[in-house]
């Protein structure tokens, strides 16, 4: 029996060491060729602190996938116009009749004679992605993007947005950023950046992900929207749009003006292959030197050759940034000249390089915690925990005397195992997580109380010490399992359904209760057995 | 040292007192919730997680003058700002500035930016970015979190019921769930009565006390079941009384210890966890009370009701055969 006992003691000691290593790792060990880190740093390296404790920014963004769909159908409009022109099939217009339904394209004004030719042309090229309707007797055909294609496009847009955001966030140098799809809503992205204090800087980086496009200028600059509308006879035709901005290269001023641009972009964000800041050797102005993809390059060459001496506008984030005169055909590399600041040029290049966002982002939730407030929270949480532990330990000693030491040792081991679990699993400790630790202390000691009360009952009923201990553990076991399972189930529901801080609470509670199952039963029992072994015959246990 | 030696209280006789006590607090809570509902559209004060809006918590170096801050906000054109001191043991000189919900999600961040820049303009060297905590919740997310919270609560209660049905008989499960529902109602009622806000962490606390109250009830039920198994001739009320008396020591001790730990959290844990620890402080007390005062009498009442129906209801120990 003694040998068995020693083996078990050794096992518990081993568990203790393993979990302590889980908490602080081995980086503090000064072995040859390795500079040891301080214990404090080793601790914080292993145990990840949540945003509410270390400070940081938490954002929930919604990707406006409708814009990506709109861009795609805009392209389709352009292609249909091209196809019909090449095939010499007349039509009055191809356009999107409803801005709230970007998936709908309409072809109007087809002569009855051409109706079937147009229909087969459309079927040929677009029936994979669009549902085509219309017989042509009224000269109207409608194309609606297929729902499956639309949702695939929307999904892809979200994934692309995540990639792009990840790239941009990299430049902030954040360790362990979280950028993921957010489960609670469609097309929502969660961004968590620990250690970042400046929300505005983050947003500037993310917000500037507005799309970059080059549009043909139809008219402008006008003083305001009324003047712009008047120029086209009262209202803007559907294939054109009004955009604010300032092309100060052309006008020489920074004043806000309104331009009328052709709606379909000649070149848009995804067509850019690379972009770098540069300087114009002649004027010493800052420029952005860009190259396009091959396919876009061909299209651009086509466009610029046909439109020499007209203007094109560079639109960023729905704002005209610059207006340029087309002086000659441009294939796939060119320069954007303008009165940019150094920052603007660098940002613009980076944005073009990492690819523009396929659609713009909207903020749904924005939380941030400053580092010193986070440190406050740590201090408060730890104080509460220490006070709680001391009170409980003290009470157990007073009430159960010798067995109280047993319970206190088990409690201590419990905490070590709990923190060790956190270290091994890489789980995040949040402020509610610290509350979970405190709760575990209270609930953990419950198991000990259950057992000890039962032992007292058995002793009162006249059983000998060893038998009383046996009965105590035996009877209490079922109830301990029951109570732990119900609380763990609660915690599991919280984990699945909760967000960051609440998840942290569920994790520490669960780990704590699991650790407690081990310590309250196995370890406590062992200590009792060891104590019983050292009692003289007939001597009562201290409980 | 032993506190509960030889206790022999007839708990079931006190059931009317218990009922009165429970009714008093339940009704007070319900009445206050009704008043709040008609006044604000919500039965309980909601934290920013659920009602949406902007909350900016700022730590100043010296005690801030609330009137001066309000003037600064007005000067910046910020209307509807609610400003209150937010003192904690670790950080005095804190202020909480709340703005109502911004329905236009495009402008969600505008409130925060205005508040922070107004503060920078007037109090530039009194605070810095690392002493600022911001929560901006838009209507979409507010709705999502609310739905989530509801779902969590319902799933929890259902899960408990199923588990208890599996381990005990159905009536035990129902009695336990009724006790838990009673606990939740009174705890939430306390929030309404004291005007404290319900946030996500408070919901977490409530779910925890659902588990805790269930625990407590299970301990008593386990003992009832064991005693029923051992003495078939004792009447149910006697068995129930005896079981409660036998587990009283354990119940009071555990609740007492857990209560002390969450009390420590309430006192030392700071403002962020204030609602959470309040829910647990109230919940643990009520949860312990309900196992004795609600769940156990319900078992007896059910049997007596079945008896009046002419059916002899003997609460068998469990579905498992004797060992």
**Picking from A87-96, A186-195, B48-57, B104-113, which range would have the lowest pLDDT averaged per residue?**
B104-113
Task: Name residue A291's beta-bridge partners.
Answer: A274, A333
Predicted local distance difference test score (pLDDT) of residue B287: 92
Helix, strand, or coil (residue A412): helix
Judge if A2-53+372-534 and A208-366 fold alike in CATH terms: no
User: A491 — contact with chain B (CB < 8 Å)?
Assistant: yes
CATH class of A65-150: alpha beta
Tell if the CB–CB gap between B276 and A391 is shorter than 8 Å.
Answer: no
| Cα–Cα distance, B90 to B106 (Å, whole number) | 36
User: A388 — contact with chain B (CB < 8 Å)?
Assistant: yes
Helix, strand, or coil (residue A335): strand
CB atoms within 10 A of CB B109: 21
| Cα–Cα distance, A95 to A72 (Å, whole number) | 13
Task: Pinpoint the residues of chain B covered by CATH 1.20.1640.10.
Answer: 12-41+142-308
Is the domain B53-137 a CATH 3.30.70.3220 member?
yes
Q: Which of B265, B271, B281 to mutate to test binding with chain A, by most A CBs within 10 Å of its CB?
A: B265
Task: Pinpoint the residues of chain B covered by CATH 3.30.70.3220.
Answer: 53-137
For B277-294, what is each residue's pLDDT tens digit? 999 999 999 999 998 999
User: A217 — contact with chain B (CB < 8 Å)?
Assistant: no
Is the domain A208-366 a CATH 3.40.1360.10 member?
no
Predicted local distance difference test score (pLDDT) of residue A360: 78
Among A98-102, A275-279, A410-414, the range with the most confident prediction by mean pLDDT is: A410-414
Tell if the CB–CB gap between A384 and B268 is shorter than 8 Å.
Answer: yes
Residue indicated by tokens 């051409």: A114
Q: Domain boundaries in chain A? A: 2-53+372-534, 65-150, 208-366
Contacts of A504 in chain B (CB under 8 A): none
**Picking from A122-131, A191-200, B121-130, B305-314, which range would have the lowest pLDDT averaged per residue?**
B305-314
Query: For the residues of B198-210, what is the DSSP string, one character each?
Result: B-HHHHHHHHHHH
What percent of chain A lies above the pLDDT cut of 90?
Answer: 3
Q: Which of B128, B258, B263, B279 to mutate to test binding with chain A, by most A CBs within 10 Å of its CB?
A: B258
**Min distance A53 CA to chain B CA atoms (Å):** 11
**Picking from A111-120, A237-246, A517-526, which range would have the lowest pLDDT averaged per residue?**
A237-246
What percent of chain A lies above the pLDDT cut of 70?
Answer: 90
Dmax over Cα atoms in chain B, in whole Å?
Answer: 81
Whether the per-residue pLDDT at A100 is higher than 80: the answer is: yes
Cis, peptide link before residue A221, omega less than 30° from 0: yes
Whether the per-residue pLDDT at A338 is higher than 70: the answer is: no
Predicted local distance difference test score (pLDDT) of residue A136: 67
Range A2-53+372-534: architecture per CATH: Up-down Bundle (1.20)
What's chain B's average pLDDT?
82
Closest CB to A391 among B2, B155, B260: B260
Residue indicated by tokens 């083996």: A7
Query: What is the reported pTM?
Result: 0.76
Closest CB to A376 among B148, B249, B270: B270
Whether the per-residue pLDDT at B303 is higher than 70: the answer is: yes
Sheet with A104-108: list strands edge to edge.
A93-95, A104-108, A141-145, A130-133
Helix, strand, or coil (residue A452): helix
Q: Which of A370, A496, A500 to mutate to test binding with chain B, by most B CBs within 10 Å of its CB?
A: A370
Residue indicated by tokens 């800041």: A277
Those residues whose C-beta lies under 8 Å from the C-beta of residue A190, and which sit 6 or more positions away, are A58, A59, A60, A178, A179, A180, A181, A182
| A26 or B13: which leads in pLDDT | B13
Range B12-41+142-308: architecture per CATH: Up-down Bundle (1.20)
Tell if the CB–CB gap between A486 and B152 is shorter than 8 Å.
Answer: no
Taking residues A42-69, report their average pLDDT: 84
Tell if the CB–CB gap between A491 and B131 is shorter than 8 Å.
Answer: no
Confidence band (pLDDT; 50, 70, 90) for A250? very low
Token pair for residue B55?
A: 């909350």
Predicted local distance difference test score (pLDDT) of residue B280: 93
For B41-100, what is each residue's pLDDT tens digit? 888 888 888 888 888 888 888 777 788 888 888 887 777 778 877 766 556 778 888 888
Helix, strand, or coil (residue B271): coil
**Min distance B156 CA to chain A CA atoms (Å):** 6
Predicted local distance difference test score (pLDDT) of residue B319: 37
Q: Which of A64, A190, A483 to mutate to test binding with chain B, by most B CBs within 10 Å of its CB?
A: A483
Token pair for residue A118?
A: 């147009």
Closest CB to B204 among A184, A381, A502: A502
CB atoms within 10 A of CB A194: 23
A–B: how many Cβ contacts below 8 A? 232
Confidence band (pLDDT; 50, 70, 90) for B22? very high
């Amino acid at each position: 029996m003694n040998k068995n006992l020693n083996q078990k003691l050794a096992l518990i000691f081993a568990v203790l060491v393993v979990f302590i290593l889980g908490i602080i790792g081995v980086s503090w060990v000064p072995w040859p060729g390795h500079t040891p880190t301080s214990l404090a740093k080793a601790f914080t390296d292993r145990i990840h602190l949540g945003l509410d404790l270390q400070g940081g920014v938490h954002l929930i963004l919604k990707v406006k996938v409708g814009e990506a769909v709109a861009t795609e159908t805009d392209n389709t409009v352009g292609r249909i116009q091209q196809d019909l022109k090449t095939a010499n099939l007349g039509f009055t217009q191809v356009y999107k009749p409803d801005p709230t339904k970007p998936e709908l394209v309409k072809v109007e004004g087809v002569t009855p004679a051409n109706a079937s030719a147009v229909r087969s042309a459309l079927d040929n090229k677009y029936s994979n992605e669009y549902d085509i309707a219309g017989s042509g007797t009224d000269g109207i055909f409608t194309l609606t993007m297929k729902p499956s294609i639309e949702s695939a496009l929307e999904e892809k847009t979200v994934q692309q947005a995540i990639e792009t955001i990840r790239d941009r966030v990299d430049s902030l140098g954040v360790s362990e950023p979280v950028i993921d799809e957010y489960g609670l809503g469609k097309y929502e992205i969660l961004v968590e950046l620990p250690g970042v204090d400046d929300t505005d800087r983050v947003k500037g980086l993310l917000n500037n992900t507005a799309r970059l496009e080059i549009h043909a200028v139809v008219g402008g600059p006008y003083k305001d929207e009324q003047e712009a509308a008047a120029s086209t006879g009262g209202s803007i035709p559907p294939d054109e749009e009004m955009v604010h901005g300032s092309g100060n290269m052309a006008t020489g001023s920074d004043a806000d003006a309104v331009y009328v641009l052709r709606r379909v972009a000649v070149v848009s964000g995804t067509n850019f292959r690379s972009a770098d800041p540069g300087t114009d050797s002649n004027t010493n102005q800052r420029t952005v030197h860009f190259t396009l993809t091959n396919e876009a390059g061909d299209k651009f060459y086509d466009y610029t050759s046909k439109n020499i001496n007209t203007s094109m506008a560079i639109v960023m984030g729905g704002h005209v940034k610059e207006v340029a005169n087309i002086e000659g055909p441009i294939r796939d590399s060119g320069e954007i000249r303008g009165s940019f600041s150094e920052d603007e040029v660098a940002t613009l290049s980076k944005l073009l390089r990492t690819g523009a966002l396929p659609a713009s982002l909207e903020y749904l939730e924005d939380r941030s915690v400053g580092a010193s407030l986070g440190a406050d929270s740590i201090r408060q949480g730890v104080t509460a925990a220490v006070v709680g532990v001391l009170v409980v330990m003290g009470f157990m000693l007073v009430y159960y005397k010798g067995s109280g030491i047993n319970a206190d040792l088990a409690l201590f081991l419990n905490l070590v195992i709990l923190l060790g679990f956190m270290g091994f699993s890489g789980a995040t400790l949040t402020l509610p997580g610290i509350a979970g630790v405190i709760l575990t202390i209270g609930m953990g000691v419950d198991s000990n109380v259950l057992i000890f009360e039962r032992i007292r009952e058995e002793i009162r009923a006249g059983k000998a010490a060893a038998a009383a201990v046996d009965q105590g553990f035996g009877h209490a076991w079922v109830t301990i399992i029951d109570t732990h399972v119900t609380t763990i189930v609660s915690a599991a529901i919280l984990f699945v359904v909760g967000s960051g801080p609440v998840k942290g609470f569920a994790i520490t509670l669960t780990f704590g209760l699991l650790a407690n199952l081990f310590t309250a039963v196995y370890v406590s029992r062992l200590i009792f057995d060891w104590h019983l072994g050292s009692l003289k015959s007939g001597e009562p246990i201290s409980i | 040292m032993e506190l509960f030696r030889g206790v022999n209280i007839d708990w079931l006789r006190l059931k009317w007192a218990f009922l009165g006590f429970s009714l008093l607090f339940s009704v007070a809570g319900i009445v206050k919730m009704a008043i709040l509902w008609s006044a604000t559209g919500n039965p309980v004060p909601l934290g920013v997680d659920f009602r949406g809006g902007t909350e900016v918590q700022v730590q100043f170096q010296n005690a801030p003058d609330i009137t001066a801050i309000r003037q600064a906000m007005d000067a910046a054109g910020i209307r509807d700002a609610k400003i209150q001191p937010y003192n904690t043991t670790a950080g005095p000189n804190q202020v909480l500035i709340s703005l109502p919900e911004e329905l236009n999600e495009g402008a969600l961040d505008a409130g925060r930016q205005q508040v922070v820049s107004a503060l920078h303009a007037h109090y530039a060297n009194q605070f810095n970015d690392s002493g600022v905590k911001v929560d901006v919740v838009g209507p979409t997310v507010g709705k999502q979190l609310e739905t989530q919270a509801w779902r969590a609560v319902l799933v929890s209660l259902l899960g408990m019921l199923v588990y208890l049905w599996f381990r005990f008989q159905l009536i035990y499960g129902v009695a336990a769930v009724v006790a838990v529902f009673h606990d939740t109602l009174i705890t939430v009622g306390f929030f309404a009565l004291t005007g404290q806000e319900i946030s996500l962490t408070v919901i977490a606390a409530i779910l925890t006390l659902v588990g805790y109250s269930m625990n407590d009830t299970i301990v008593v039920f386990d003992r009832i079941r064991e005693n029923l198994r051992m003495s078939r001739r004792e009447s149910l009320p006697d068995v129930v009384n005896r079981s409660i008396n036998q587990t009283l020591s354990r119940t009071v001790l555990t609740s007492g210890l857990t209560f002390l730990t969450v009390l420590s959290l309430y006192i030392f844990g700071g403002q962020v966890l204030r609602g959470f620890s309040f829910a647990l402080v109230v919940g643990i007390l009520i949860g312990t009370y309900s196992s004795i005062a609600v769940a156990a009498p319900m078992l007896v009442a059910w049997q007596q009701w079945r008896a009046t129906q002419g059916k002899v209801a003997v609460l068998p120990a469990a579905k498992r055969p004797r060992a």
